Amino acid sequence: MEPTVQVDLLKSEEIYDLFDVLKLENTLVEAIDRSTVNFEQVFLKIVKEESAYELV
């Protein structure tokens, strides 16, 4: 199985920063997939992050 990286970009321009880092590390990009926003996953991620702050 090939390594996979998944990123969430807040701004579409951030893709350029990502590619700059990959280029510096001589990382080959074989494919890019754009997923649709799953609002249930977004909600769960927000709730999880908020609960992490409550534990501190």
In this prediction, residue 18 carries a pLDDT of: 93
Indicate the DSSP class of residue 11.
Answer: S
In this prediction, residue 55 carries a pLDDT of: 52
Question: Count of alpha carbons within 13 Å of 3, Cβ hemisphere only?
Answer: 4
Residue spans of alpha helices (H) in 1-56: 14-24, 39-55
In this prediction, residue 9 carries a pLDDT of: 84
Which of 48, 46, 28 lies closest to 37, judged by CA?
A: 46
With tokens 């992050």, the residue in question is 49
Low-confidence ranges of the chain (pLDDT < 50): 56
Structural domain that includes position 28: 14-55
- Which amino acid, residue 38? N
Instruction: Specify if 4 maps to a domain.
Output: no
Instruction: Specify if 6 maps to a domain.
Output: no
Instruction: Specify if 1 maps to a domain.
Output: no
* The overall pTM is greater than 0.95: no
Instruction: Specify if 40 maps to a domain.
Output: yes
Instruction: Specify if 28 maps to a domain.
Output: yes
Instruction: Specify if 19 maps to a domain.
Output: yes
